[in-house]
Chains A and B, each alone.
Chain A
Amino acid sequence: MTARVLVAVLRRAGSALVVLWGAATAVFFTMHAVPGDPEDVILGQELLVTEELRAQVRADFGLDRPLPAQYLTFVGNLARGDLGRSYLLQQPVADLIRDQLAPTLQLAAAGLLVAALLATVLAVLTTGRSGIARQLAVVLEVVAISAPAYWVGIVLLAFLSFRLGWFPAFSDGGLRALVLPALTMGIAIFGLLSQVLREAAENAERQPFALTARTRGLSRLAVTARHLLKHASIPALTVGGWVVGGVVGGAVLIEAVFGRPGLGRLTLQAVVNQDIPLIVGLVLLSALVFVLITIVLDVVYRLVDPRLGTRS
Chain B
Amino acid sequence: MPARLGAVLAVLTMAAACSGGDSGGTGQSATPDAAGEPAQGGVLNYVTDVEPTCWDLQQQSTIASQTLLRNVLDSLVRLTPDGEFHGWLAETWEVSPDGTTYTFHLSDGVTFHDGTPLDAAAVTFNLDRWIASGINLAPSVPYESATATDPRTVTVQLTEPYAPLLQILSMPIVSIVSPASVEQYTPEQLCAGGEAIVGSGPFRSAAYVQGQSWTLERNDDYDWAPENADHTGAAHLDGVQVTFIQENSTRVGALSSGQAHLVSNVPPVDVANLRGGETDVLTAEAPGIPYSLQLNTATGPFADPAVREALRVGVDYDTLVESLYHGLFPRAWSLLTPATANAYDASLEGEYGHDLAAAQQLLDDAGWVPGDDGIRVRDGERLEAAWIVNQAWIREQRDVLGEGIQDAALELGIDLQRETLDPGTFTARAQAGDYDLTDMSQSRAEGDMLNLAYRSTLTPSGGGVNYTQLADPDVDQLLGDAARATDPAQRSDLYAQVQQRLSDGSVAIPVYVPTYLLGTSAGVHGVHFDAPGVPWSFFDVWLDQAQ
**Do A and B have CB atoms closer than 8 angstroms in the complex?**
yes
**B116 interface residue per 8 A CB criterion:** no
**B500 interface residue per 8 A CB criterion:** no
Do A165 and B257 touch (CB < 8 A)?
Answer: yes
Do B424 and A36 touch (CB < 8 A)?
Answer: yes
Task: Identify which of A37, A46, A90, A99 contacts B191 (C-beta below 8 A).
Answer: A90
**A45 interface residue per 8 A CB criterion:** yes
**A274 interface residue per 8 A CB criterion:** yes
Do B463 and A49 touch (CB < 8 A)?
Answer: yes
Q: Give residues of chain A (68-120) contacting chain B, Cβ–Cβ below 8 Å.
A: 85, 88-92, 95-96, 99-100, 103
Do A170 and B47 touch (CB < 8 A)?
Answer: yes
Interface residues of A, count at CB 8 A: 50
**A212 interface residue per 8 A CB criterion:** no
Quick one: given A47-B464, A56-B134, A168-B259, are A42 and B250 in contact (CB under 8 Å)? no
**B274 interface residue per 8 A CB criterion:** no
**B187 interface residue per 8 A CB criterion:** yes
Do B210 and A96 touch (CB < 8 A)?
Answer: yes
Residues of chain A within 8 A (CB-CB) of B137 are 47-48
**B253 interface residue per 8 A CB criterion:** yes
**A258 interface residue per 8 A CB criterion:** yes
Do A90 and B257 touch (CB < 8 A)?
Answer: no
Residues of chain A within 8 A (CB-CB) of B23 are none
Do B428 and A35 touch (CB < 8 A)?
Answer: yes
Residues of chain A within 8 A (CB-CB) of B134 are 50, 52-53, 56
Quick one: given A90-B59, A274-B424, are A261 and B212 in contact (CB under 8 Å)? yes
Quick one: given A40-B427, A169-B253, are A53 and B135 in contact (CB under 8 Å)? yes
Nearest CB to that of A158 among chain B residues?
B249
Residues of chain A within 8 A (CB-CB) of B212 are 103, 171, 261
Nearest CB to that of B428 among chain A residues?
A36
B6 to chain A, nearest CB (A): 26
Q: Give residues of chain B (186-236) contacting chain A, Cβ–Cβ below 8 Å.
A: 187-188, 191-192, 209-212
Residues of chain B within 8 A (CB-CB) of A198 are none
Segment with Cβ contacts to A, from B240-248, B470-478, B521-529, B534-542:
B240-248
Do B465 and A161 touch (CB < 8 A)?
Answer: no
**B157 interface residue per 8 A CB criterion:** no
Do B452 and A48 touch (CB < 8 A)?
Answer: yes
Number of A-B contacts (CB under 8 A): 135
Quick one: given A47-B465, A91-B191, are A170 and B250 in contact (CB under 8 Å)? yes
A119 to chain B, nearest CB (A): 29
| Per-residue B-contact encoding for A247-285, CB less than 8 Å = 1, 0 else | 000000000111101100110000011100000000000
| Per-residue A-contact encoding for B141-164, CB less than 8 Å = 1, 0 else | 000000000000000000000000
**A41 interface residue per 8 A CB criterion:** yes
**A156 interface residue per 8 A CB criterion:** no
**A43 interface residue per 8 A CB criterion:** yes
**B115 interface residue per 8 A CB criterion:** no
Quick one: given A91-B188, A168-B257, A259-B246, are A36 and B422 in contact (CB under 8 Å)? yes
**B442 interface residue per 8 A CB criterion:** yes
A161 to B465 CA separation, bound complex (whole angstroms): 43
Residues of chain B within 8 A (CB-CB) of A169 are 250-251, 253-254, 257, 259
| Per-residue A-contact encoding for B465-493, CB less than 8 Å = 1, 0 else | 10000000000000000000000000000
Segment with Cβ contacts to A, from B60-68, B121-129, B319-327:
B60-68
A212 to B452 CA separation, bound complex (whole angstroms): 85
Residues of chain A within 8 A (CB-CB) of B60 are 42-44, 90
Task: Identify which of B63, B250, B426, B442 contacts A259 (C-beta below 8 A).
Answer: B250
Interface centre among A91, A162, A165, A266 (most CB of B within 10 A): A91
B143 to chain A, nearest CB (A): 14
Do A47 and B245 touch (CB < 8 A)?
Answer: no
Do B246 and A89 touch (CB < 8 A)?
Answer: no
Do A37 and B211 touch (CB < 8 A)?
Answer: no
Do B424 and A41 touch (CB < 8 A)?
Answer: yes
Interface centre among A36, A52, A257, A274 (most CB of B within 10 A): A36
**A38 interface residue per 8 A CB criterion:** yes
Residues of chain A within 8 A (CB-CB) of B243 are 170, 172
Interface centre among B60, B425, B442, B465 (most CB of A within 10 A): B60
**B276 interface residue per 8 A CB criterion:** no
Do A45 and B259 touch (CB < 8 A)?
Answer: no
Quick one: given A165-B257, A169-B253, A259-B247, are A45 and B428 in contact (CB under 8 Å)? no
Do B424 and A43 touch (CB < 8 A)?
Answer: no
Interface centre among B136, B187, B250, B254 (most CB of A within 10 A): B250
Binding site for B on A (CB under 8 A): 35-38, 40-53, 56, 85, 88-92, 95-96, 99-100, 103, 157, 161-162, 165, 168-172, 256-259, 261-262, 265-266, 272-274
Excluding A40-B427, A90-B53, A168-B254, 16 further A-B contacts by CB distance (< 8 Å) are A36-B425, A40-B426, A40-B428, A43-B60, A51-B463, A53-B463, A89-B191, A90-B54, A91-B188, A91-B191, A95-B192, A100-B211, A162-B249, A169-B251, A266-B211, A273-B424
